[in-house]
Amino acid sequence: MKKRALFALVGAVTAGLIAVVVPTAHASSALPSVTRVSSAAAAGQGTIQAQDLPTELVAAAAADTAVLRPGQHRIYFHFRKNHKDPTKSSLTLYRVTARGEGLPPTYTKLGAWRAGSGIGGTGIGQNACALGQGWLPNGWYNAHRDGPAHDTNFNTNVNGGLIFGIVWRLQDTARGCDGIKRTELFIHSEMTPGRKQACRPANYRENQCWDGPADYASNGCIKLKPADIKQAARLARAWGGPRPDQKHYPRLLLVTG
């Protein structure tokens, strides 16, 4: 979301998160699935150890993979806040693979990208309860119960239409904010509904054109540049992430920092 765009902030944290069985890969004509991940597919890709992950993610993975068959995958996004510059925070995508009863899952880092949340700076932009300005509160986020958990051609009419293209929609939250609620929360970029750029003088749309680093600022959503969110979408959907227009996906995103 843009700094100028104001979103209403409503909802509550969903309790009692449950794991779901997900397929290994999902096909799509919009964004072809990556059925094999090569070293060139994502920066920093590779197997990692549990001790190198947030403890919250390891605990969640143990529960979520317990209902999967050996060899099945699911994904987690992890947004790590950068207090020096919120617009230079990071979003990392992990694949977790079940190994069977009594065995811990394996973890693979599929990619990591620069990301922003909030308007930036060291003041109100780091206040997780500041409506339309602060970054996301820490903790787990399910996909929003009303969906879409993931969409590749999103076209919202909220406040006149501010978010388009590739998105993951996050649950509403009032976490740690004394009833102040945040809603309309997405992982998104700046693109047209067809995942292109409206940057030419004849068709320029500020919220559909990635103009540069200033566009990492948001009203609280997590934002990536277009090339990065396209890569994240391919990888997430190839390895057990939510399908387009799917609604329920527990523990889609962990926010720390």
The model's pTM: 0.82
Q: Are 112 and 44 a contacting pair, CB within 8 Å?
A: yes
| CA-wise closest residue to 254 among 3, 17, 67 | 17
Q: Are 81 and 54 a contacting pair, CB within 8 Å?
A: no
Tokens 């919120």 sit at which residue?
A: 86
- Report helix, strand and coil shares of the chain as percent, to nearest 5: 20, 25, 60
User: Which ranges of the chain have pLDDT less than 70?
Assistant: 1-44, 157-160
Predicted local distance difference test score (pLDDT) of residue 46:
87
Where do the domains of the chain lie? 46-256
Strand-pair partners of 106? 97
Predicted local distance difference test score (pLDDT) of residue 31:
44
Two structure tokens written together for 172: 């509403």
Strand-pair partners of 249? none
Coil, helix or strand at residue 229? helix
Gap between the Cα atoms of 136 and 89, Å rounded: 12
Looking at residue 86, the DSSP 8-state letter turns out to be G
Q: Are 174 and 13 a contacting pair, CB within 8 Å?
A: yes
Two structure tokens written together for 132: 């339309």
Tokens 């990692």 sit at which residue?
A: 48
Looking at residue 179, the DSSP 8-state letter turns out to be T
Residues 6+ apart with CB under 8 A from 214: 87
Q: Are 93 and 110 a contacting pair, CB within 8 Å?
A: yes
Q: Are 230 and 166 a contacting pair, CB within 8 Å?
A: yes
